[in-house]
Amino acid sequence: MTKMGQGPALALERKAVERLRRFPREPDALVDALRTLVAVVIRALLRIYCRFEIIGQEHLPNDGESFVLVANHSSHLDSVCLLAALPLRRLQRTFPVAAEDYFFRSLSRTWFATVVMNALPFARQMRVRESLSICAQLLARPGNVLVIFPEGTRSKTGATQAFKPGIGALLAGHEIKVLPCYVEGAFRAWPKGRRWPRPRKVRLIIGRVRHYAAEEESETVAAELHREVETLRADNSVVRDSVEPGGAPD
């Protein structure tokens, strides 16, 4: 009987996943209210559990401006930290770019990515140009914010990996504002492979606005942003956020 019931159940789950991942999304006042409520709870937990601190929040553009937040990526905490830097009123027009093959496969992850995070599904393997086109369309509308982790996946050591050229393809030759950011301490709090986060100090450092309208090479832009993020780490670091090869975070 279990096997007979699995087919319809899986079909219903796949339909639910497809419906949730559809983008752009239809406005939904109930979802917006739930997203805001969860954001308030998450921000409070970050402050209490991780002693979360934001440096450089004054660099954020005004409400009517579109821009990109770019940061290192070593933990699931990274996205919520970047979202916590924005006013609650901007949440519904802020879209963390999330890997389609990871966050938009199971119903539970898709629901969390869509309803709680307002994430934009991004194809990392195929249809990359299509995903970049959607990002560009969003940024063309005043007031939208994209949160992007150009490493493409979480670092296993806490060290910042090279940025993929997709971020350069989005920004090069365009008057798009981008703010390099560094999330410090997130790897120690919740590294890849750990089930639950630990109480560790986490800081978000936001750099000044950059744009690359005069640059034509996507690889050059990606490398430049990587240097900017690393500079933020070097200039503001107070905790060691990576471990030696073969070691484990304490």
Dump pLDDT digits (tens) for 75-86. Answer: 999 999 999 999
Q: Looking at the predicted structure, is the pLDDT value of residue 5 above 90?
A: no
Rounded Cα distance between 10 and 228, Å, is 45
241 in any annotated domain: no
21 in any annotated domain: no
Percent of the residues in the chain that have a pLDDT greater than 70, as a whole number: 88
Q: Looking at the predicted structure, is the pLDDT value of residue 224 above 80?
A: yes
Cβ contact 158:188 at 8 Å: yes
| pLDDT band for position 26 (cuts 50, 70, 90) | confident
Question: What residue numbers bound the domain in which 184 lies?
Answer: 27-236
118: left (phi over 0), alpha (psi -120 to 50) or beta: left
pLDDT, tens digit, for every residue of 35-65?
999 999 999 999 999 999 999 999 999 999 9
Q: Write down the pLDDT at residue 84.
A: 98
The count of C-alpha atoms lying within 13 angstroms of the C-alpha of 94, restricted to the half-sphere facing its C-beta, is 23
Higher pLDDT pick, 10 / 142: 142
49 in any annotated domain: yes
Higher pLDDT pick, 3 / 92: 92
89 in any annotated domain: yes
Domain count, the chain: 1
79: three-class secondary structure by DSSP = helix
Average pLDDT, the chain: 90
Q: Write down the pLDDT at residue 25.
A: 83
Q: What is the CATH number of the domain that holds 125?
A: 3.40.1130.10
Higher pLDDT pick, 226 / 22: 226
172 in any annotated domain: yes
pLDDT, tens digit, for every residue of 98-152?
999 889 888 999 999 999 999 999 988 778 899 999 999 999 999 999 999 999 9
Higher pLDDT pick, 164 / 245: 164
Rounded Cα distance between 72 and 147, Å, is 11
242 in any annotated domain: no
216 in any annotated domain: yes
Q: Looking at the predicted structure, is the pLDDT value of residue 201 above 90?
A: yes
Please give the C-alpha separations between residue 154 and each of 73, 75, 99, 187, 191, in angstroms, as whole numbers.
5, 6, 11, 9, 9
Average pLDDT estimate for 196-208: 97
| pLDDT band for position 6 (cuts 50, 70, 90) | low
18 in any annotated domain: no
Name the pTM for this structure.
Answer: 0.88
